[in-house]
Structure 1
């Protein structure tokens, strides 16, 4: 009982914080005729929530009306919870994932003016498709999930920083053997696939194999990368930034699955791919919050 009360208080506190951020964003958008409707949607998101307890499992469930706008911090957080729960389900249904080798890869490009963001993201998408067709990828990357994130340049909010967070399920030889890819090699490959004249920033981290880390720790580390990659991003509370981000990212998919991870998701789910806007109005919190994770809710 005390544990559920703790989660309920955590949830209420988090919702209040997110609601405050959502209202600040809505206040910027609602005063302009071109974004008034979007502002009203975000303003009214999660105005009324109910907290119930499932009589069969004592799980806390939230119900409410949500706007599903990609600028809304509340709905961003719910999507993060959704994808975290999806990967928990995959590990539950397919325990062999605990024994796989994983690489966490971040691919970037030069910052661009926010009005040129859509073109930059489309260029990155084409570059990523080229990367997936490389021989080393076809032979060694068994599955992947790609998360798109856009943040602002710290020194000038007129410039955006688009980048990919990628979780790769790879053959053992790629994480610590003959097919290991160094940071320099990743940079060269991404530069060539992106078709640019500069060396882009690339970060790659191997999640230690289960023989060294333990199966439970592999799962925890993979889930944490998913949680980090889908965390809510609240940029500057500036109309110009918010309006441009909303316009430039409209209809672009933020999460993509490939290879075996996509196939496993289709088998474990409803037989269709994950869509960004595809999120149920109910979230079962016990599938998201875990007692041994101290960084709730992320």
Structure 2
């Protein structure tokens, strides 16, 4: 639900430092580091990331509860703040798709399948991702797969190995299966998943896949569905791979890794739904998370509204490195 706040009194220039459940300050510092690193290869993207989140507007209740209602997000795939917002959208889309599927097929259970390939150089990464997507399309069309799997959600993740300066692309795949899958003749065991992935990739050097049944996380409140969504609602890249903390107020990003990943991820689809999960995704008419039009302000799962009494504006203060009202 989008709430209209135009009639509320506006607070600004109060000198108040932003306090919120989201650590906006750290995201801004990390985004600034990525912007500086990007400046070596793409000044336009660098400026856009630097401007990201410079102004945040919150509806604030009498008790001090805040809800973000307006902000400029650059939506660049290398921006840590926008990555986090996208991951929240993915989490809640996957969760709601699973809930919708479960309402129709109550016996649905979930598996997390992780498909890997050997590490590759930056020069080979783009082609390797294309091969992986082609291989997944081939695997998911197999009769064996279709007999066993009701639906799926696939997300690409890329990690960087600093020691070897190579990249590790891999898929996190959420599989929806009937409860009888685990005891029926259509069960696919670990060794068979590995064989299927090797065949699809046409690569015998692949030595491991991981497949496991998803169960509620004792450290996280919520259902099995929320646990499943949390497993796949992650960054496409890990900012910790290329951002280093130098002090409380300063982060630095590796310009080479930032530049390589920025170029490789450009225009690539990072997530996809299939089977019955795709049917329910389409029925729910969600935004395309991979698109630049996705709404990163009204993120699902945040309070739909607060009993706001004021609209409070916070601006990023470069000198103080804080959001100040």
TM-score, normalization by structure 2: 0.75
Aligned-residue CA RMSD (Å): 2.7
The equivalent position to 1:152 in structure 2, one of 154, 160, 170, is: 160
How far apart, in 1, do the equivalents of 2:192 and 2:101 lie?
Answer: 32
Contact conserved, 1:254 with 1:276, CA < 8 A, in 2? no
How far apart, in 2, do the equivalents of 1:54 and 1:132 lie?
Answer: 49
Quote the residue 2:294 is aligned against.
279
Contact conserved, 1:106 with 1:202, CA < 8 A, in 2? yes
Distance 1:273 1:73, change over 3 A: closer
How far apart, in 2, do the equivalents of 1:117 and 1:288 lie?
Answer: 39
Quote the residue 1:213 is aligned against.
none
Alignment gaps of 5+ in structure 1: 1-7, 210-215, 290-298
Aligned residues between the structures: 268
How far apart, in 2, do the equivalents of 1:204 and 1:87 lie?
Answer: 19
Quote the residue 1:135 is aligned against.
143
Quote the residue 2:316 is aligned against.
none
Quote the residue 2:108 is aligned against.
100
After superposition, the C-alpha distances for 1:135-171 in whole angstroms (9 at most, x for unaligned) are 2111111110100011101422x31110000001113
How far apart, in 2, do the equivalents of 1:222 and 1:148 lie?
Answer: 16
1:168 and 2:175 aligned: yes
Alignment gaps of 5+ in structure 2: 1-18, 217-221, 243-252, 305-325
Deviation above 6 Å: which 4+ runs of structure 1?
none
Distance 1:48 1:159, change over 3 A: same
Mapping for residues 191-270 of structure 1, pairs under 5 Å = 191-208=198-215, 217-227=223-233, 229-230=234-235, 233-234=238-239, 235-236=241-242, 237-269=253-285
- Which is greater in Rg? 2
Contact conserved, 1:85 with 1:288, CA < 8 A, in 2? no
How far apart, in 1, do the equivalents of 2:141 and 2:302 lie?
Answer: 35
Quote the residue 1:23 is aligned against.
32
Q: Secondary structure at the match of 1:112?
A: coil
How far apart, in 1, do the equivalents of 2:265 and 2:299 lie?
Answer: 29
How far apart, in 1, do the equivalents of 2:143 and 2:125 lie?
Answer: 30
Distance 1:94 1:161, change over 3 A: closer
